[in-house]
A and B are shown apart, each in its own frame.
Chain A
Amino acid sequence: EAQVTQNPRYLITVTGKKLTVTCSQNMNHEYMSWYRQDPGLGLRQIYYSMNVEVTDKGDVPEGYKVSRKEKRNFPLILESPSPNQTSLYFCASRLGGGAIQYFGAGTRLSVL
């Protein structure tokens, strides 16, 4: 089954404790992205990647890191999480520029 898998689905952590949210897709898509969804703000793009070792900042990249060492994986790293990063995070992938995005089920993160 074609899918984008995010882990964990729920995470509670404390300020400053490094964490990684994993994202994996099995559709051989070139493009992958991370979004955060906040009330009243919709989905905002954090980072995106056009292919292995090619990443670029989205609208809200501050406080986040990403890497794309393999085509299927695109982890989101929070080196020193802060409470303002409490949010619902989505990973997405797509075949090429302008193509339809497929989203993971989301990761709800709470930073205390």
Chain B
Amino acid sequence: DQQVKQNSPSLSVQEGRISILNCDYTNSMFDYFLWYKKYPAEGPTFLISISSIKDKNEDGRFTVFLNKSAKHLSLHIVPSQPGDSAVYFCAASAYGNQFYFGTGTSLTVIP
């Protein structure tokens, strides 16, 4: 049973516009959330994280929002750039041992 879900397999956005990637989770014990970015033929690389005591974390063009009551996580990329085209995975953890990943969203930024 998938505890972390990314319901949009793909997303296309024009360069310079905002990309919003969404993630839902079912386990209320999750206390740490991360976004990873993956290019073809490479392993995932860490992008940004947020703990459950916060509702927002920002790092340059990337912002992650956490809505605990809705069990919803989103990643905003502003402005989107062609180099952001990749597969994005959200992940969640409870107590930092096991990590649960979503199925990924393939983002295409159109120049």
Contact = CB atoms under 8 A, between A and B. Distances in A.
Contacts of B49: 100
Nearest to A4: B43
B89 A43 contact: yes
A97 B102 CA distance: 20
A101 B46 contact: yes
Interface string B95-109: 111111111100000
Nearest to A58: B98
B44 A98 contact: no
Contacts of B97: 48, 50, 56, 97
Contacts of A102: 46
Interface in B22-72: 32, 34, 36, 41-46, 49, 51
A90 interface: yes
A4 B42 CA distance: 12
A33 B95 contact: no
Given A4-B43, A41-B103, A96 B98 contact: no
When A and B form their complex, which 9 residue pairs have the shortest distance between CB atoms, in order from nearest? A97-B96, A103-B43, A98-B96, A43-B101, A42-B103, A42-B101, A100-B46, A98-B32, A103-B44
Interface of B: 2, 4, 6, 32, 34, 36, 41-46, 49, 51, 89, 91, 93, 95-104
